[in-house]
Chain A
Amino acid sequence: MSDARDYAIITEAQNAKPGIRFTENHSRRALVLDNTFIIVFFPFAAALIIPWFAERFRKHAAWFAMVAPLVSTWALYNLYGEWAAGGRQTFTRAIAWVPAANVEISFMVDGLSLMWGLLVAGMGALIVLYSHWYLHEHEALGRYYGFLIAFMGSMLGVVFSDHLISLFIFWELTSITSFFLIGFWSDRDASNYGATKAILITGSGGLAMLGGFLLLGDLGGEWRLSQLVLMPDIASQVSLGVFLLIILGAATKSAQWPFHIWLPNAMEAPTPISAFLHSATMVKAGIYLLSRFYPILGAHPAWGYVVTGFGMTTMIAGGLLSLRAYDLKAILAYGTISQLGLIVTFLGYGGKGAIIGATLHLYNHAAAKAAMFMTVGIIDHEAGTRDVRLLGNLKKLMPRTHILAVIAALSLIGIPPMGGFITKEMLYEVSLHPGGPGSWSWFWPYLTVFAGVFTALYHLRFLSEPYWQAAEGEAPKHPHDPPMGMLAAPAILVALALAFGLAPGLIENAIVAPAAQATLGGGAKVELHLGLWHGINTPLIMSVITMALGLALYFGFAHVKKVLDAVATAWGKAPAPNRIYDGFVNWLREGTWELLMLIQDGNLRRYMRWMFVLPTIAVLYLVWRLDWGANVFPQGFAGASFLLVVVALMIAGAALATALFRRRIPAILALGTMGYGIAGLFLLLKAPDLALTQIMVESASVVLFLLVFYYLPELKPVRVSAAKKIRDWGIAIGLGVCTTLVMAAAMNTHQFRTIADYFMRTSKPVAGFKNVVNAIIVDYRSYDTLGEIAVLVIAGIAVYALLRLVGEMKCDH
């Protein structure tokens, strides 16, 4: 195939290893001002304060949110300059995070991450612009913009992450933020269902991916993607299980069949969110992951079968489902699933041509699909429905929206002069000589044309049913064109799709080629020369065939529909992914409830029984396993002074009294006596800090006990059967004996060298404290202390909320 293709892909093997500049020794202060850190962390910082501004200045909320994508874009522009000036070499920026576990927050800058970064940040700005017109002033704008910007930061984190662990964390952050965005209208059941479904499916996929990452990192002894890329034989060492775990993460995120079911339900989100998360960025995170791992795992024997298998099934299933949908957003959602399938298919097939085609299509699809979502949002906004059966003749009613929708749809169908035409020709071109493993190559052009026909069909349907045909029903509102501002964002996207077609030189070698190059890895060099017209050649003929078939099916759509409905009826009650999901979630919910009722049924006595019996059994097991006579009581009670014994007996007496008193107040006082006795014990054992604390705690808790008991009902003598009494005494004595044994064993076994000497020696020079106990609390183990005071604060808030809420509820009744 050497006909005159002036968009031929020129590839040269670059013998030199791609240079990695690893700059680890940046000072922290320099890193804070580093472009990569601004790109990723500025949105997070902004997301914390944006809600405040958005709620206060509701009319201008979007303009405050707009700052974040603009700053990120500006930093990306600088970073791009930095990268270009450095000879377009990959470089990384790292900051130690958990040095002990070899975890770092590190960012990698190469063609792929830059392309994705521009996509995410640029799209973010347009989405915010569109949201300004889409959302009503009275809605929860702070929450909306806060999560939107946080999502953008997470997504930027995903595409710039170098370390596997930080990649995973940003990955899960996109799932979490998208959960809140899908469920934005949390008073609707469908929103909550969609949000839960999305986070359950993508979250489980993410966990599978984490497992894969851990095993991969362990296997390679390397956690940085930038380094893993340089290990040529890693793919052959990776087991099938590890491979599948990682692919599962990508497949769930990118809505590959049978995990695609979350995407249509996620359409309950506000439309700008659907445009941003569910067409342009988040669903493409899986594609990003596959692109990123292509140079690492692409040579794995299962890559072709698994990835291509996912892609093809998804492409066909998505295309078919799209034809049966009536909700405009659902049509687009299934269309997106189908297109994602197409891209995944090409990534799975591999080879230079396929990778370049996938990268190009990705860009073009993001722009056009987001524009289409925005036009649907406009229709929804103006007509009050998205049901194609209720919409009609919008061509006359909303002429401006109609033009934008037509251009965007035609771009994705692949009509010149839109960018979509170039990418589709490109895909046809590579399908003719894919350059990957050869055995399936005959199949490739047919598959691509098939995908093209379906794409044409559901896009034609997307245009004809609401815009061109008459409505079957009545829309709730009389639709008309929205204000010009609302059209601005889709217009910009459509203009980009047009510009990409008319002047592909603008981005081909600046953005797309480096991304494809980075995906290919191994020093491949990619140069693109794209254009609209290449003379009459095979891809053009394939395009014509596609159009003809698409139009034919479109005009005979009534028949197509009948066939599809018949298939759907025949499928009937067979296990579809959605039914399996619902069944599983219900089983989980009911099973958990039953298990909960078994252990925690609200009966305090039963809780105590569990808490006492289980440790007793554990200790008894140890008693049985170890030689306790020698280990626990080597000296018996030889060291005990007379005073110590007296205090101990006092404590025991007070404890017994606490249990036996019939009224509460004496019982509390006896409990207090026991506490003070323990404080005395601490004093005798020369631990003044502990003694002091014990006295304070005891005083405070006696007072609080007295106050709490005010709420409790009168203590009434309960008649308990003798058997139960014996059981309770048994549990109590058993726990007491076991605790004693454990304490004695802890005192008398010296398996390990104590670190007390280290603390005594270093507390003054290291922490500046002479009081070692306090030095441990606030310096050596300050993480623990921080955790503890956080728990204390949570407990305080909980008690506060509990008492206030109970008060309010009582007032209500």
Chain B
Amino acid sequence: MRSLILRTIAPAVLHLTLLFSMFLLLYGHNQPGGGFIAGLMTSVGIVLQWIAVDEEEGRRRFNWPYEGIFLAGLALSTLTGVWGYIKGAYLKSSIYRFELPFIGDVELFTAFLFDVGVYGVVVGVVMCIFTNLCEKETQES
């Protein structure tokens, strides 16, 4: 798997994929995108790195607490719903508009936070499965 081309290109691609996934997440409300796709994009980006580099190095660089990430994501989505509940109905989106210096008008939706939770769950679960499968492979080979 240690192809030279892959190893050279992968780091450059990593930043692109992460940037693009952030773009998908942030722009999901007006353009194609959203938490689910962004989460998959991020995971695939990381998986690509993992495959490109050395097994140990991959673990060193991407050994994040994925179980924690997906639990936190689920918690965030659920709690966002509670905010909506206080405002009217569970999971109802509330819209907030305010002005920030230098940036201008900003719109915030609680639905966006919900989407961030979805993003966390997708990244967490895919990576959790991936890392665990990988670990087995290295242990036994």
Partner of B74, one of A710, A766, A775, A793: A793
Q: Does A773 contact B (CB under 8 A)?
A: yes
Q: Which residues of A contact B115 (CB under 8 A)?
A: 774, 777-778
How many angstroms between the C-alpha atoms of A766 and B91 in the bound complex?
13
The minimal Cβ–Cβ distance linking B109 to chain A, given in whole angstroms, is 4
Q: Does A529 contact B (CB under 8 A)?
A: no
- Number of A interface residues in the complex (CB < 8 A): 44
Partner of A792, one of B29, B67, B78, B122: B122
Whether the Cβ atoms of A697 and B40 lie closer than 8 Å is yes
- Number of B interface residues in the complex (CB < 8 A): 54
Partner of B118, one of A689, A710, A779, A789: A789
The minimal Cβ–Cβ distance linking A708 to chain B, given in whole angstroms, is 7
Main SS of chain A's interface residues?
Answer: helix
The minimal Cβ–Cβ distance linking B46 to chain A, given in whole angstroms, is 11
The minimal Cβ–Cβ distance linking A682 to chain B, given in whole angstroms, is 11
**Contact status of A692 and B37, CB under 8 A, knowing A707-B134, A768-B29, A793-B74:** yes
How many angstroms between the C-alpha atoms of A786 and B78 in the bound complex?
7
Q: Does A771 contact B (CB under 8 A)?
A: yes
The minimal Cβ–Cβ distance linking A686 to chain B, given in whole angstroms, is 11
Q: Does B3 contact A (CB under 8 A)?
A: no
Q: Does B58 contact A (CB under 8 A)?
A: no
Whether the Cβ atoms of A793 and B71 lie closer than 8 Å is yes
Whether the Cβ atoms of A774 and B70 lie closer than 8 Å is no
Q: Does A769 contact B (CB under 8 A)?
A: yes
Whether the Cβ atoms of A774 and B29 lie closer than 8 Å is yes
Q: Does B32 contact A (CB under 8 A)?
A: yes
How many angstroms between the C-alpha atoms of A697 and B41 in the bound complex?
9
How many angstroms between the C-alpha atoms of A774 and B114 in the bound complex?
11
Residue of B70, B111, B118 ringed by the most chain A CB atoms within 10 A: B111
**Contact status of A28 and B86, CB under 8 A, knowing A697-B40, A704-B129, A796-B128:** yes
Q: Does A752 contact B (CB under 8 A)?
A: no
Whether the Cβ atoms of A771 and B33 lie closer than 8 Å is yes
Can you name the residue of chain A whose Cβ is closest to the Cβ of B44? A699
**Contact status of A792 and B121, CB under 8 A, knowing A704-B129, A766-B93, A769-B29:** yes
Whether the Cβ atoms of A700 and B47 lie closer than 8 Å is yes
How many angstroms between the C-alpha atoms of A789 and B91 in the bound complex?
14
Can you name the residue of chain A whose Cβ is closest to the Cβ of B74? A793
Q: Does A642 contact B (CB under 8 A)?
A: no
Q: Which residues of A contact B139 (CB under 8 A)?
A: 807
Q: Does A59 contact B (CB under 8 A)?
A: no
Whether the Cβ atoms of B81 and A792 lie closer than 8 Å is no
Whether the Cβ atoms of A771 and B32 lie closer than 8 Å is yes
Whether the Cβ atoms of A789 and B134 lie closer than 8 Å is no
Contact with B along A765-799 (1 / 0, CB 8 A): 01111110111011100110110011011011101
Whether the Cβ atoms of A777 and B34 lie closer than 8 Å is yes
Whether the Cβ atoms of B132 and A786 lie closer than 8 Å is no
Whether the Cβ atoms of B93 and A696 lie closer than 8 Å is no
How many angstroms between the C-alpha atoms of A775 and B30 in the bound complex?
9
Can you name the residue of chain A whose Cβ is closest to the Cβ of B86? A28
Q: Does A804 contact B (CB under 8 A)?
A: yes
Whether the Cβ atoms of B86 and A793 lie closer than 8 Å is no
Partner of B34, one of A710, A774, A789, A797: A774
Q: Does B22 contact A (CB under 8 A)?
A: no
Whether the Cβ atoms of B129 and A796 lie closer than 8 Å is yes
Q: Which residues of B contact A700 (CB under 8 A)?
A: 40, 43-44, 47, 126
Q: Which residues of B contact A688 (CB under 8 A)?
A: 32
Q: Spell out B's residues near A (CB within 8 Å).
A: 24, 28-37, 40-41, 43-44, 47, 51, 67, 70-71, 73-74, 77-78, 81, 86, 90-93, 95, 107, 109, 111-112, 114-115, 117-118, 121-122, 124-126, 128-130, 132-137, 139
Q: List 8 A-B contacts (CB under 8 A).
A: A696-B44, A700-B43, A707-B133, A771-B32, A773-B32, A778-B114, A779-B92, A783-B91
Q: Spell out A's residues near B (CB within 8 Å).
A: 28, 688-689, 692-693, 696-697, 699-700, 703-704, 707-708, 710-711, 766-771, 773-775, 777-779, 782-783, 785-786, 789-790, 792-793, 795-797, 799-800, 803-804, 806-807
Closest 9 CB pairs of A and B: A696-B40, A796-B125, A770-B30, A707-B133, A782-B91, A774-B34, A769-B29, A688-B32, A789-B121
For the complex with contacts A703-B47, A773-B32, A807-B136, 8 further pairs of A-B residues with Cβ separation under 8 Å are A689-B37, A692-B24, A696-B40, A710-B136, A774-B29, A778-B34, A793-B73, A793-B124
